[in-house]
């Protein structure tokens, strides 16, 4: 069994990843709240990634960093503190986790790191200045770490489009908004958390052991196509 550390696995995409991995792996979740369903292979540590010391873990094969933010405002209403907060949770938190568990990862089995970006880092979208800036830094981090840690540790990132989670609830709060978002995507859909979890599960598996330094747009076509 692999030992997989997931930061932010109690909700949304993180929880879907926990659910997909815990039957066949030892999963350690680190977040402010515990996942809703206990499991024999799941260990939880209550921890705020930005303010608390991360727990000591004896071995780590995979690190997945899930925390993110959706802070959509026009530039005139964004404060410098908004940019700092988004950068802290998306970038600094990831760096903190990588630095903490890197010594263990170097001794792991087929070790890998998985980070999360957003389609807004590639597709210019109004009101996304703060989150797009932070997630663009995540993409740079993934590529730089992939080069630095090769050939020992693989590093990749997933950049999902709108996903049906609590974090995106404001974007999907009524039927009209759901219809508009659906129509904006060439595949006429948006994501479910389990779809992102499926890609995450593949990228940390031996089946992906030739893939590193890549950003995967899980985008329902919105970045790739103009239809």
User: Which domains are delineated in the chain?
Assistant: 3-218 (3.40.50.720)
Give the mean pLDDT of 83-91: 97
3-state secondary structure of 20: helix
Give the mean pLDDT of 57-69: 96
Whether the per-residue pLDDT at 226 is higher than 90: the answer is: no
Residue position matching structure tokens 């050939």: 151
How does the average pLDDT of the chain come out, rounded? Answer: 95
Q: Answer whether 116's CB lies under 8 Å from 8's CB.
A: no
For residue 149 the two structure tokens come to 């840690």
CA-CA distance, 28 to 7, in Å (whole number)?
8
| pTM summary value | 0.95
In the chain, where do the E strands start and end? 3-7, 26-31, 42-46, 62-65, 112-116, 154-160, 215-218
Q: 127 or 226: whose pLDDT is higher? A: 127
Whether the per-residue pLDDT at 69 is higher than 90: the answer is: no
Give the mean pLDDT of 23-46: 95
CA-CA distance, 26 to 5, in Å (whole number)?
9
Name which of 22, 223, 44 is nearest 125 in CA terms. 223
Give the mean pLDDT of 137-158: 98
Quick: pLDDT tens for 177-203: 999 999 999 999 999 999 999 999 999
CA-CA distance, 138 to 91, in Å (whole number)?
6
Q: What percent of the chain has pLDDT over 90?
A: 88
- Measure Cα distances from 63 to 9, 68, 74, 141 in Å: 12, 16, 34, 14
pLDDT at 163: 94
Q: 92 or 167: whose pLDDT is higher? A: 92
Give the mean pLDDT of 42-66: 97
CA-CA distance, 58 to 65, in Å (whole number)?
18
């Amino acid at each position: 069994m692999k030992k997989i550390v997931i930061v932010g696995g109690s909700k949304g995409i993180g929880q879907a990843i926990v659910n997909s991995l815990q039957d066949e792996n030892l999963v350690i979740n680190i977040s402010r709240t515990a996942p809703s369903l206990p499991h024999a292979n799941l260990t939880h540590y209550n921890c705020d990634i930005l303010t608390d010391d991360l727990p000591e873990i004896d071995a780590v094969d995979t690190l997945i960093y899930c925390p993110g933010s959706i802070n959509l405002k026009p530039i005139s209403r964004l404060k410098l503190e908004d940019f700092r907060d988004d950068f802290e949770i998306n970038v600094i938190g990831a760096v903190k986790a990588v630095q903490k568990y890197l010594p263990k990862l170097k001794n792991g089995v087929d070790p890998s790191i998985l980070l999360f970006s957003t389609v807004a880092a590639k597709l210019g979208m109004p009101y996304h200045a703060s989150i797009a800036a932070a997630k663009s830094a995540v993409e740079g981090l993934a590529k730089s770490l992939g080069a630095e840690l090769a050939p020992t540790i693989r590093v990749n990132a997933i950049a999902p489009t709108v996903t049906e989670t609590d974090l995106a609830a404001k974007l999907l709060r009524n039927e009209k908004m759901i219809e508009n978002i659906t129509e904006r995507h060439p595949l006429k859909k948006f994501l479910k958390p389990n779809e992102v979890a499926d890609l995450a599960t593949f990228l940390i598996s031996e089946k992906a052991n030739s893939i590193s330094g890549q950003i995967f747009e899980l985008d329902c076509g919105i970045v790739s196509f103009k239809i």
